[in-house]
Amino acid sequence: MITVGIYLAAGNSTRMGTDKRALPFADSFLGSIALQAALFSFLSTVFLIVPPNDPLDWVAFPLLQHEKIAIIHCPSTTQSSSLQCGVRKAIYQKADAAVILLADQPFVRKETINELIAHFTQTHTDYVAFANNSIPFPPVLFSASVFPSLLNIQGDEGARQLIRQKHWNGTLLHADDNRLFFDIDTMEEYKQALKYWEKGGLR
């Protein structure tokens, strides 16, 4: 079974006021933390979705050399268009499923991703995700059966609009620590994430 990763890192960091991917985090950069987890997981390939002319100076150098990484320059920076850049690559590669990951979720681990893959292997539902109060949050694994629908979404809602409208049959998993869902959009959230990490990261 071929399961690819679609790592969304093409946003403008508007609320942060600076490129949040390049902020220092855990002896690396914020945008590199979940990317490393993806590359070290059971994913076959990780499509790194970035804007045109991205210098990639926020990516730790060893990750750029990783055999599983494929850098995709996407001309638009909305979340839906970035997602679709990755989905088209997944279709071209004839992937059975794709895990959508966000560059601002530093508490996602390789074990998180592997658990999504393992449950999909057992259930083959339309999607698999961890849930917070019964609401699915990224990272989310999508079956190839829903790729055509993902190519039709618009705006910055991503696939959440379709999941929450119950268009698909999915599997929701329990997360042992809600910090898994922590994403960073503001400087205050960045400072809070640093505190979490200093206390031992995700437990």
Phi, psi of 20 (to 5 degrees): -65, -25
- Sign of the Cα torsion 71, 75, 77, 78 reads negative
Q: Which fold has domain 3-198?
A: Spore Coat Polysaccharide Biosynthesis Protein SpsA; Chain A (3.90.550)
* Per-residue confidence (pLDDT) for residue 203, from 0 to 100: 41
Note the pLDDT tens digit of each residue in 53-92.
899 999 999 999 999 999 999 987 677 889 999 999 999 9
Whether the predicted pLDDT of 162 surpasses 70: no
CA distance 177 to 199: 13
DSSP 127-158: EEEEEETTEEEEEEEEEGGGHHHHTT--TTST
Q: Stretch 17-46: mean pLDDT, rounded?
A: 95
* Per-residue confidence (pLDDT) for residue 202, from 0 to 100: 47
Whether the predicted pLDDT of 168 surpasses 90: no
- Domains of the chain, by residue range, sit at 3-198
- Tell me the whole-structure pTM to 2 decimals: 0.93
CA distance 72 to 8: 10
